[in-house]
Amino acid sequence: MLRLKQLALLIGDLIVLYIGLYFALYFRYLEIPGKNLEDLLSPMTQLFFLATITLFVAGLYDVSKTKNSWVFYQKIIISALVWTVFGIIYFYINPKISITPKTILLLTATIGFGLISLWRFFYNKFISTTLKYNIIFAGVTAEVKELINNIQKEPRLGYFITGVISGDETVRNQFPNLTFGNTIADINNQTKTFANIIVLSPHMTGNTELLKELYNSLFQQVSVVSLSDFYESVMHRIPPFTFSEGWFVVNLREQQKKIYDRFRILSDYILAVVIGIFFVITFPLIALAIKLNSKGKIFFTQNRVGRQGLIFKVYKYRSMVSLSADGSAETEGPQFADKKDARITSVGKFLRLTRLDEVPQFLNILKGQMSIIGPRPERPEFVEQLTEKMPYYALRHLIKPGLTGWAQIQNSYYGNIEENLQKLEYDLYYIKNRSLTLDLSIILRTINTVLRLAGR
């Protein structure tokens, strides 16, 4: 449902942008567009593709947050302005295009993005809440409770809970607004609504009566989904109840990702060179700001755990005050940084918000110690603590650590052992599902984080 909604938004945005171009030409020349439309169709198609990327970076394809509000429409306005600037640059630097339609570009931006606002208003008000799958949870676990709360909090995810199969009175009292029953037929009789998806909890697989109902539901085009698969698709992380050697052997399938991993090596080096050029350009200003703001070195190095558990030194701009002999801010051993850590300098706060403190890690990427995307490298001391709590923590070291990652765009801050164990669930999701499309999504959402100054 998530992908279907995103596709609907994408197609709708493109259609109204083309409509915007048509009316821009009509109002510019006061005639039905003909040859002028043909001349502009190819370059504007490329720019419309860029417009969808701009909207994605702005977070406008995050269906759980697409709701009518001033902040939402502010994002559309900002996207229109950014796209117009890119459009002007595109027409001026492209030697193959002999025309520079400044007026048409401005009219297209105004009409096209204005129509996007109308289309999104209509979608948010009428479509997003009607495109839903009816689901029944067969059995209740801690993960099911988490899913129920999340679905009820985010109706735009596209799920409606028809009922829950459970005889536990405590659970029934916890969710008084839901329909409970002992069988699928019991829930159907109460609600008069048939489910599209039945989510099966592991402990219910031995219920013979339920299994007969599930078998019969296959002939009614009802999907039966395991709780682990459904949880992963909704929460975008691996549920810890699945953690076992057998599950990891079956699901991680590292051998099938060798071609992708080799391609990633090439793309990592190319992007690291680009980041290196940015580093050279910005270094004088950042270095001066760090030195003027507090005493200490410009750069900060620290041991981190990389692929296969190998230790390497990560490079960063110093963002904290220098309190110890090695230039670190720690005087009583390793500790996680707090959300409002007093050790962070004013310049360091800006560097963290923009993620500029991570830029020197292009050197780690060129050395082959890191990748652009992957689990963030952790300190050996913390890895030891986390491995004691979760023996499978070492699985995050199957691939190179990254400059950015899936866990970072979900939550920029993990400040204790429990939160870092949840980060492991996101890291394992990435390791299991990593692909070029997921990588592109992470890069674009990282850009969104940087532009919103939402780093840590």
pLDDT value, residue 417: 80
Domain boundaries along the sequence of the chain: 2-127, 133-235, 255-451
Cα 154 versus chain centre, distance: 16
pLDDT value, residue 407: 94
Cα 442 versus chain centre, distance: 6
pTM: 0.87
Q: ∠ CA(347), CA(416), CA(337), 5° rounding?
A: 15
From first to last of the 456 residues of the chain, give the pLDDT tens digit: 677 888 999 999 999 999 999 999 999 888 998 888 888 899 999 999 999 999 999 989 988 777 888 889 999 999 999 999 999 888 888 766 656 678 899 999 999 999 999 999 999 888 877 778 999 999 999 999 999 999 999 888 889 999 999 989 999 999 999 999 999 999 999 999 889 999 999 999 999 999 999 999 889 889 999 999 999 999 999 999 999 999 999 898 887 888 888 899 999 999 999 999 999 999 999 999 999 998 889 999 999 999 999 999 999 999 988 876 666 666 666 667 766 778 889 999 999 999 999 999 999 999 999 999 999 999 999 999 999 999 899 999 999 999 999 999 988 677 778 888 899 999 999 999 999 999 999 999 999 888 887 766
Spatial contact of 80 and 106, defined as CB atoms under 8 Å apart = no
What's the token pair of residue 223? 């999907």
Domain 133-235 class in CATH: alpha beta
pLDDT value, residue 312: 97
pLDDT value, residue 157: 84
Helices 35-57 and 70-93 sit at what angle, rounded to 10 degrees?
130
The C-alpha torsion from 22 through 27 and 31 to 34, rounded to 10°, is -30
